[in-house]
Amino acid sequence: MAVTERTQSYADLVADDPREFRVHGSVYTDAEVFGSEMDRIYERTWVYAGHESELPAAGDYKTVLVGTQPVVLSRHEDGKIYALYNRCRHRGAVVCRQERGHSNFFRCRIGMSQSTGYPDDFDRGAYGLVPVSRMANYRGLFFISLSDHGPTFDEHIGPARKYIDAWLGRSPVEQIELLLPPHRYEYPGNWKLQAENGYDGYHGNYVHLSWQRVLQLSKESTVEEVQRYRQEGAARGLLNGHGLLERPGSLNPASSWTARMMDRYPEYAEAMRAKYAETQLIDLSARRNIFIFPNLYLFDTHLRVIVPKAVNRTEVQLYVYALHGVPDAINDGRIRGHERFYGPAGFGAPDDIEVFTEVQTGAQARGNEWNLFSRGQHRERVENGERVGHTTDETPQRSLYRQWRLEMSRP
Ligand SMILES: [Fe+2]
């Protein structure tokens, strides 16, 4: 049954009831909903497309899908990065077939050969690739909107700005470099399952218990210590669909990674103390998993990009990055830590992917088609426009679905 018959309107698929926030299961399973998400969210709002370090030289390019539409990002001779539809103006073939590369020009397989097929005054220059409607760069992160209308990028990113700044601040020169290529996984489930998961502070003690036991067996930590740590901090739901999971910052090496690195590497401590006041250091040492609606996560080791492929198929790209201006040993440690939990043979990511599959399968069942996202609604508070919940609450997920409902309801 099509969703329109069942509910009349996409807005009805999210029930923002003050005591029982619910999301209808068809948001994970209905191909028509997925098609509208591509139109209304991915091909209209601001979508993350790439990082400046991926295109260091003029002629470097990468191809991305923005919703269903192929786009190429490239650095021009003027040093700037541009985003163009990846579509030949003749018969529509993509002009860049590789995921990333370097080229002095873009043209399809044929180019314009046997040009006597066109009159002498044919204006080649009038058939260049078409730029996308809007592009914005925030601190090296490039975002695209395929629509001329809707909120400006500043409006969109505003509520998340200070968290992005703090995230970048762990580099004393505020620069990162993506270590290419990304690694990736695909799962047979909806893209929003990955969005819901990255800042979910609830599941870790259960879904990743085997990982906690590994840490205990290797005498790095105890299950009890890890679980106590996982109670600390907050889950934040920001405006515009952004959100984050946050562990508190500290200058105590026993409880903060940044403080531990400063303790271990005096040159890092010196650079950080020269740049930041103590209150700033405490703030940027908070560990945060930051979701930028609708397709980007900023983690302490990697950028995670969600690429929806179909209503029940999603690709996830993980771009591990180096912090600039820090001792190599710090980045080496970050990368090894990433591999151990998130990597292809890691102890964490496979647990999550298995659960995505279980949810996608269960969501096919009819009869009781509403998923509950009410955890912590009764104890949530509002601070400076942010909803703040306990670290195990579904506060950021509610923020995601409020924005989802808003975007899906726009005319
Ligand atoms: Fe997880």
Q: Do 90 and 199 belong to one domain?
A: no
In terms of domains, do 302 and 389 share one? yes
Query: Are 181 and 290 in a shared domain?
Result: yes
Under the banding of pLDDT at 50, 70 and 90, the label for residue 8 is low
Residue 257 is assigned to a structural domain of this protein: no
In Å, how far are 212, 250, 277, 301, 387 from 284, measured between CA atoms? 26, 9, 11, 14, 20
Burial of 121 per CB tally in 10 Å (0-12, 13-18, 19+): exposed
CA 9 to centroid of ligand 1, rounded, Å = 32
Phi/psi for 410 (5° steps) reads -65, 140
Q: pTM, whole model, 2 decimals? A: 0.96
Centroid of ligand 1 to alpha carbon of 310 (angstroms): 22
C-alpha 288 – ligand 1 centre gap (Å): 14
C-alpha 206 – ligand 1 centre gap (Å):
9
Calculate mean pLDDT across residues 129-154. Answer: 97
| Distance between Cα 207 and ligand 1 center (Å) | 7
234 lies in the same domain as 336: yes
> Nearest Cα to 67, choosing from 98, 51, 44?
44
Query: Ligand 1 centre from 401 Cα, in Å?
Result: 20
Tell me what percent of the residues of the chain surpass a pLDDT of 70.
Answer: 98
Domain tally for the chain?
2
**What is the whole-number distance in angstroms between the Cα of residue 360 and the centre of ligand 1?**
16
Q: Does the residue 237 lie in any domain?
A: yes
Q: What pLDDT does residue 354 have?
A: 95
Q: Give the tens place of pLDDT for each residue, 241-292.
A: 999 999 999 999 998 999 999 999 999 999 999 999 999 999 999 999 999 9
- The helix (H) or strand (E) run that includes residue 62 is strand 60-66
Q: How many whole angstroms from 28 Cα to the centroid of ligand 1?
A: 19
List, for residues 30-43, the tens digit of each pLDDT value: 999 999 999 999 99
Tokens of 300: 């302490």
**The two three-digit tokens of residue 130, written as one number:** 């078409």
**pLDDT for the residue numbered 174:** 98
Domain of 130, in residue numbers: 47-111+126-149
State the distance from the centre of ligand 1 to the C-alpha of 57, rounded, in angstroms: 36
Q: Tell whether 73 and 219 lie within a shared domain.
A: no
56 falls within a domain: yes
Q: Tell whether the model's pLDDT for residue 4 goes beyond 50.
A: no
The SS3 of residue 297 is strand
Q: Is residue 254 part of a domain?
A: no
The 10s digit of each residue's pLDDT in 351-362 is 999 999 999 999
Domain-located, residue 270:
no
Q: 347 alpha carbon to ligand 1 midpoint, in Å?
A: 10
Distance from the CA of 194 to the center of ligand 1, in angstroms?
10
Q: Among 33-37, 110-114, 206-210, where is mean pLDDT lowest?
A: 110-114
Chain centre distance of CA 120: 49
Cα of 402 from ligand 1 centre, angstroms:
23
Pair of tokens at residue 152:
């400006």
Q: What is the mean pLDDT of the chain?
A: 94
Q: Is residue 383 part of a domain?
A: yes
Using the mean position of ligand 1's atoms as its centre, give its distance from the Cα of residue 100 in Å: 29
Could you tell me if 34 and 87 lie in one domain? no
Asked if residue 140 and residue 107 are part of one domain, the reply reads yes
Could you tell me if 304 and 397 lie in one domain? Answer: yes
Sheet strands (E) in 355-397: 370-372, 381-383, 386-389
Kindly tell me the burial class for residue 330, based on how many C-beta atoms sit within 10 Å of its own C-beta (0-12, 13-18, 19 or more): buried
Amino acid 7: pLDDT: 47
The label of the residue with tokens 């984050």 reads 244
Helix (H) or strand (E) holding 403: helix 395-409
pLDDT at 324 over 60: yes
Evaluate whether residue 337 is within a structural domain: yes
On whether residue 192 sits in a domain, the answer given is yes
Same domain, 9 and 84: no
Tell me the pLDDT band of 230, cut-offs 50, 70 and 90.
confident
> Cβ–Cβ contacts within 10 Å for residue 205, how many?
15
Determine the distance separating the centroid of ligand 1 and the alpha carbon of 27, expressed in angstroms. Answer: 21
Q: Which amino acid is at 76?
A: H
For residues 237 and 354, state if they share a domain: yes
Residues 140 and 192 in one domain: no
Q: How far apart are CA 275 and CA 72, in angstroms?
A: 37
CATH number (domain holding residue 84): 2.102.10.10
Whether residues 233 and 87 fall in one domain: no
**Any idea what the CATH number is for the domain that residue 167 is in?**
3.90.380.10
Reply yes or no on whether the pLDDT at 395 is more than 80.
Answer: yes
CA 39–ligand 1 middle distance (angstroms): 29
Q: How many whole angstroms from 349 Cα to the centroid of ligand 1?
A: 6
